[in-house]
Amino acid sequence: MRPVTLCTLQWTDLDIEEVCRKAKEFGYDGLELACCGNHIEVNKADDAYCKARKDLLEKYGLKLFAVATHLVSQCVCDIIDERHKSIVPAYIWGDGSPEGVRQRAARDVIDTARVAKRLGINVVNGFTGSSIWHLIYSFPPVPESMIEKGYEDFGRRWIPILDEYQKLGIRYALEVHPTEIAFDIATAERALKAVHYHPAFGFNFDPSHLGYQGIDYLEFIYRFADRIFHVHMKDVGWYGGSGEAGVFGGYIPFGDRRRYWNFRSLGHGNIDFGEIIRALNHINYSGALSVEWEDSGMDREHGAREACEFVKNVDFTPSKTAFDSVFEKK
């Protein structure tokens, strides 16, 4: 069975040791440590720091399978504004000059690969940002040349990062997600092409960001079988609601019933995780299943405990033989 881990992105208000204690109590096998709070501080993470983190996880019987740099990596390609200041460390923000933020973020993403190497893991999860997300709805009509420039910008900024990852033996897993350079199957294909199918670039599969868009999240697994470097287990519910806001959300905050969709604790939404496990078995994915817990309507600790049990119950190993082979006469 695959290890079940807890992504700590939504737990960085707590000290890392407290998160370790809770994760063990909830039944998790390990963690996906976020590069924020005091979980992983990239600019401090020398050999001694990384050894201390490994010792801490070992103290609680937990394994480490990936680190998450979503907040900083978002800045590499984004159109930088005041929103970014609230999510990145001061040393990344600096004087707030947009290109300076992008350059410092890129260096930090490379440093995160070095930290991963010290920690003994080979996957870094994160975002990429996008200079063209604001062009998602094509009015005024968007010339193809503007979209192409966005992918060229992505390639120009990320190929040097990925080259460093390859040298270190680390893989970068983009979480395909609205606001990123890849947010569905079509744009994931285009992102791969933009980085010349770089061997260090792949995906952190998270069905919650695909399902409510109407994307075939099972097809995503089959289409990118050799590029699924990590898996987030996260649910989402979409429904009629009050009909006030659609897929784009209507500027209504998460958790509001007027939205067409909201993230849900595992097993409380529309995602078919049984079929996801079958698809992951089909592509021989044997890595961690990482719970990224998000549900505005449920207590966090209740949800994290329940989600761990849900994943362990839904996961299964594939059959090594055809069920009807027993009928064959020898």
- Residue-range domain boundaries for the chain: 4-318
* Predicted local distance difference test score (pLDDT) of residue 222: 98
Q: Over 70: is that where the pLDDT of 225 sits?
A: yes
Q: What is the pLDDT of residues 161-218, one digit of tens each?
A: 999 999 999 999 999 999 999 999 999 999 999 999 999 999 999 999 999 999 999 9
State the SS3 of the chain. CCCEEEEHHHHCCCCHHHHHHHHHHHCCCEEEEECCCCCCCHHHCCHHHHHHHHHHHHHCCCEEEEEECHHHHCCCCCCCCHHHHCCCCHHHHCCCCHHHHHHHHHHHHHHHHHHHHHHCCCEEEECCCCCCHHHCCCCCCCCHHHHHHHHHHHHHHHHHHHHHHHHHCCEEEEECCCCCCCCCHHHHHHHHHHCCCCCCEEEEECCHHHHCCCCCHHHHHHHCHHHEEEEEECEEEECCCCCCCCCCCCCCCCCCCCCCEEEECCCCCCCCHHHHHHHHHHCCCCCCEEECCCCCCCCHHHHHHHHHHHHHHHCCCCCCCCHHHHHCCC
- Residue type for position 256: D
From the list 57, 7, 32, 23, the residue with the least C-alpha distance to 305 is 23
The token pair at 219 is: 């097809």
Which pLDDT score, from 0 to 100, does residue 321 have?
73
Would you state the pLDDT for residue 171? 98
Beta bridge partners of 263: 236
User: Given a cut of 80, is residue 241 above it in pLDDT?
Assistant: no
In tens, the pLDDT along 77-108 reads 999 999 999 999 999 999 999 999 999 999 99
The pLDDT value given to residue 223: 98
Q: Is pLDDT of 55 > 70?
A: yes
Distance, CA of 306 to CA of 6 (rounded, Å): 12
Two tokens, residue 296? 């505005």
Candidates 96, 172, 84, 78; CA nearest to 132 is 78
What pLDDT shows up at residue 324?
Answer: 62
Instruction: Report how far residue 12's alpha carbon sits from residue 19's, in angstroms, rounded to the nearest whole number.
Output: 8
pLDDT band at 243 (very low <50, low <70, confident <90, very high): confident
Whole-angstrom distance between the N-terminal and C-terminal Cα of the chain? Answer: 32
pTM confidence score: 0.96
Tens-digit pLDDT profile for residues 289-327:
999 999 999 999 999 999 999 999 999 998 887 666 656
Q: Cα(313)–Cα(304) distance, rounded to whole angstroms?
A: 14
In sequence order, the 6+-apart residues with CB closer than 8 A to the CB of 47 are: 118
Q: Which two tokens stand for residue 265?
A: 């604790």
Question: What's the pLDDT tens digit per position in 120-176?
Answer: 999 999 999 999 999 999 999 999 999 999 999 999 999 999 999 999 999 999 999
Residues 6 or more apart from 167 whose CB is under 8 A from it?
none
Which CATH code for domain 4-318?
A: 3.20.20.150
Return the pLDDT at 62: 98
What φ, ψ does residue 197 adopt, rounded to 5°? 55, 45
